[in-house]
Amino acid sequence: MKTEKIIVDTSVWIEYFKDTLHDSKFIEEGLNKGFVYVAGPIVTELLQGVKTKEEHIMLSQTIDAIPFLDCTYDDWTTAGSISFHLRKKGIIVPLTDIIIASVAIRNNAKICTFDQHFNQIPDVKLYKI
């Protein structure tokens, strides 16, 4: 695999951690070779979704090992523009998905997700597993 950046979205991480992802080799290879990334909203969604304090501690201690793409001021303004244009068309996409898309666009990264919202965001490149 070439040195592309792939942001793995919350929906894929959930399946990975539940051990129900049909191709977990992709995640493991991406972590080993450094082409799998997370962004802030993904970290937050994962941490808020754990069920126990023990899971929260374990996830908090391991998630920082995944390469992280920072969110910049420009990402927030891009997200605002994307959301504005989508809403003008009657399309409502969660802000978390729009900011993840903005980070991906700026970093020329693909998004690996099961979430159909990303299909509605212009200029987003998706990675299918």
Give all domains of the chain, ordered by start, each with its CATH number: 6-123 (3.40.50.1010)
Output the pLDDT for position 2: 54
Output the pLDDT for position 104: 98
Give the C-alpha distances (Å, rounded to integers) separating 5 from 54, 55, 82, 110: 31, 28, 21, 6
The contacts of residue 56 (CB under 8 Å, 6+ apart) are 47, 50
Output the pLDDT for position 1: 45
d(CA 95, CA 3): 28
Output the pLDDT for position 97: 98
Low-confidence spans in the chain with pLDDT less than 70: 1-2
Output the pLDDT for position 101: 98
Please report which helix (H) or strand (E) contains residue 125, including its range.
strand 125-126
What global pTM score does this model have? 0.93
**What is the DSSP annotation of 10-72?**
HHHHHHHHTT--TTHHHHHHHHHHT-EEEEHHHHHHHHHT-SSHHHHHHHHHHHTTS-EEPP-
Output the pLDDT for position 126: 98
Give the other-Cβ count within 10 Å of 60's Cβ.
13
